A = this chain, B = another copy of it.
Amino acid sequence: MPTASDFERLLRGASLRVTAPRMAVLSAVHSHPHADTDSIIGVVRQNLGAVSHQAVYDVLRALTGAGLLRKIEPQGSVARYEARVGDNHHHVVCRSCGAIADVDCAVGHAPCLDASDDHGFVIDEAEVIYWGSCPECTTAAKSS
């Protein structure tokens, strides 16, 4: 778990101003991976008091743009953010409860980056989402 000064260093490294909302958002995402925007707002407000939702949206966009956070939005779910960036990992999401877990890349460092026919597109990233059932839901389904 990174400290406040780590976050500050991250922000300065991205030439972003160091403000309380930004620190709080960074910290919230680090401690709540895959949290949706609303939860992040909640966590930030617990730590800072009143913060406008607009500020949080703003900060999230700024940090995502700077590469400090990553935004993921699986179908049927609202936007979620995570702090693991730059290591090209993927996600499993549970069809019934929506739980998300990280999955490291199965086939080397840039999985499936070779499409069989790329239609002339210049591909720079492959995003993989595994759909399935989480342990809890699998158990629940069996016992019912």
Contacts and interface: CB of A to CB of B under 8 A. Distances in A.
Interface of A: 71-73, 75, 90, 92, 94, 101-107, 111-135, 138
Nearest to A130: B123
A94 B116 contact: no
A52 to B, nearest CB: 23
Nearest to A71: B75
A122 B135 CA distance: 7
Nearest to A138: B122
Given A71-B75, A75-B71, A138-B122, A117 B104 contact: yes
A75 to B, nearest CB: 5
Contacts of A138: 120-122
Given A105-B116, A106-B116, 10 more contacts: A73-B75, A101-B119, A103-B117, A104-B117, A119-B134, A120-B135, A123-B130, A123-B131, A123-B132, A124-B131
